[in-house]
A and B are shown apart, each in its own frame.
Chain A
Amino acid sequence: MTTVTESKPFDGDYGGKPAWRGRPRRRQGDSEEERVNRRWRSVLSCLLLVLPPLLAAESEAPGQKDFTVAPRTTELEHVPCKDCHQYMDPNPEPRQLVDSPHVAEVRHGKADMWCTACHAPENHQQLRALSGLAVDFDDSHRVCRDCHSATYQDWLYGAHGKRVGSWQGEREILNCTACHDPHLNLNVLQRRPVALPGVRAGLERQVHGPAPPRRLWQRKQQAESEESDVTEH
Chain B
Amino acid sequence: MSPSTKKDAADQAQVDHSRRRFMKGVGTVSATAAGVTALKPAWGGMSLGDALGEFFQDHYQRMSPEEIAAAVSRIERKAKRKFGRDIQVGNAPPIEGVVFGYALNISKCKGYRDCVSACVQENNLGRGGQMEYIRVLELDKGDRNLDHANHYYDHMAVPQEGKEYLPVQCMQCDDPPCVKACPVDATWMEPDGIVVMDYDWCIGCRYCMSACPYSARHFNWREPEIPADELNSDTHYLGNRPRVKGVVEKCHFCIQRTRKGLQPACLEACPTGARVFGNLLDPDSEIRWILANKTVLRLKEDLGTEPKFWYYTD
Contacts and interface: CB of A to CB of B under 8 A. Distances in A.
Interface string A149-190: 001001001111111111111010010000100000000111
A167 to B, nearest CB: 5
A214 B145 CA distance: 11
A27 interface: no
Interface in B225-282: 258, 261-263, 268, 270, 272-273, 276-279
Contacts of B272: 179
Q: Is the interface of A mostly helix, strand, loop or mixed?
A: loop
B185 interface: no
B17 to A, nearest CB: 40
Contacts of B302: none
Interface in A184-217: 188-201, 207, 209-211, 214-215
Interface stretch (B24-32, B47-55, B151-159, B169-177): B151-159
A209 B161 CA distance: 19
10 contacts: A151-B314, A158-B278, A159-B276, A159-B294, A162-B273, A166-B262, A190-B158, A193-B111, A197-B151, A201-B221
Most buried by B among A154, A164, A179: A154
A205 to B, nearest CB: 13
A210 B113 contact: no
B156 A192 contact: yes
Interface of B: 98, 103, 105, 110-114, 116-117, 128-132, 135-136, 138, 140, 142-143, 147-159, 161, 221-222, 258, 261-263, 268, 270, 272-273, 276-279, 283-287, 289-290, 293-294, 312, 314
Contacts of A199: 130
A167 B262 contact: yes
A64 interface: yes
A65 B284 contact: yes
Nearest to A207: B152
B113 A163 contact: no
Given A64-B284, A166-B261, A167-B278, A198 B129 contact: yes
B267 to A, nearest CB: 8
Contacts of B258: 167
A1 interface: yes
B273 A174 contact: yes
A211 B140 CA distance: 11
B286 A191 contact: no
A46 B310 CA distance: 34
Contacts of B148: 210-211, 214
A31 B273 CA distance: 47
A195 B156 CA distance: 11
Sorted nearest first, the 6 A-B pairs with minimum C-beta distance are A158-B286, A162-B273, A210-B150, A194-B113, A190-B157, A157-B289
Contacts of A192: 155-158
A179 B108 CA distance: 12
Contacts of A157: 286, 289-290, 293
A63 interface: yes
Contacts of B117: 194-195
Contacts of B161: 1
Contacts, number: 127
Interface string A124-167: 00000000000000000000000000010010011111111111
Interface residues of A, number: 42
Contact of B158 (A193, A196, A207): A193
B286 A193 contact: no
B313 to A, nearest CB: 10
Contact of B112 (A168, A169, A191): A191
A65 B147 CA distance: 41
A212 B47 CA distance: 56
Nearest to B222: A201
Given A154-B314, A166-B261, 20 more contacts: A63-B283, A63-B289, A154-B294, A157-B289, A158-B276, A158-B286, A160-B105, A161-B273, A162-B273, A165-B263, A171-B286, A179-B272, A192-B158, A193-B155, A194-B112, A194-B116, A195-B113, A198-B130, A209-B150, A210-B149
Nearest to A168: B261
Contacts of A194: 112-114, 116-117
A160 B276 CA distance: 9
B263 to A, nearest CB: 5
A154 B286 CA distance: 10
A5 to B, nearest CB: 18
Interface in A40-66: 63-65
Contacts of B262: 165-167
Contact of B159 (A167, A190, A196, A198): A190
Contacts of B283: 63
Contacts of A160: 105, 273, 314
